[in-house]
Structure 1
């Protein structure tokens, strides 16, 4: 009987350790801007970082487009929308498009969108250059946009 109680305790400790490690990993990754690889490199954004689907979803040629994929009952999506709208209002050359992920399932699959909110940063040539899963940090987002913009903050 003693052996069974010890086994159960070890299982509980193992599950809690695994859950803690996964939670830590998730928090470190959530909201971080990740660059998307260029031609000849492995990309984590899906099959084609310059997919024509981006133009169909509203990417604006000649501007940096922040494409936010959202869902109806996503609380972090609202926080992301406020942040991106603020950035669009303060920075010349930035255009924001919000896409309802549920209504654009084919595009979501093609672009490898696995959760909401996800923000794709599309450069002036229509290529995905960065992506964020979760609510991005304002300072990190601004720092990531600087090299893509020729205009200055208003």
Structure 2
């Protein structure tokens, strides 16, 4: 009997340790801006950038969101703060339900997803979750000054 109760405790401890490790990993990754390897156009469809409101020659932050997404409101506040801090940044919010073709084309799996699009129309960074304001400013500033990432 003693062995079976010890086994149960070990299973519970193992599950708690695995859940804690996953939670830590997810929290560290959520909202981080990741480089998009080799910079690509917003999509294979040449009309998609204009349909989303991406203007050529302007650094654009594109947020994919949905009506019932609470983190989307927090991401919008962060993006608004970045736009107020850095003049010249254009902000576009895309409703995932209305633009399913863009969601598929740009491989958006969750909301909010934020794309940083440079002046050439290339997606250079992306974040799934609410991005950090300072990290976003650090990524966008060189794009505004014409410096490469």
- What TM-score, normalized by structure 1, do the two folds share? 0.85
Matched, 1:133 2:113: no
RMSD: 1.7
State the TM-score, normalized to the length of structure 2.
0.87
1:146 maps to what in 2?
A: 141
Between 80-89 and 131-140, report the one with greater CA deviation: 80-89
Match of 1:82 in 2: 77
Q: Would you say the 8 A contact 1:61–1:124 is kept in 2?
A: yes
Unaligned residue ranges in structure 2 (runs of 5+): none
- 3-state DSSP class of the match of 2:67? coil
Spell out the pairing of 1:51-130 with structure 2 (5 A cutoff): 51=43, 52=46, 53-130=48-125
- The structure 1 segments of at least 4 consecutive aligned residues displaced by more than 4 Å after TM superposition are none
> Can you give the 5+ residue segments of structure 1 that lack an aligned partner in the other structure?
40-47
* Pairs aligned (count): 143
Q: Which moves more between the two structures, 52-61 or 78-87? A: 52-61
The aligned residue for residue 44 of structure 1 is none
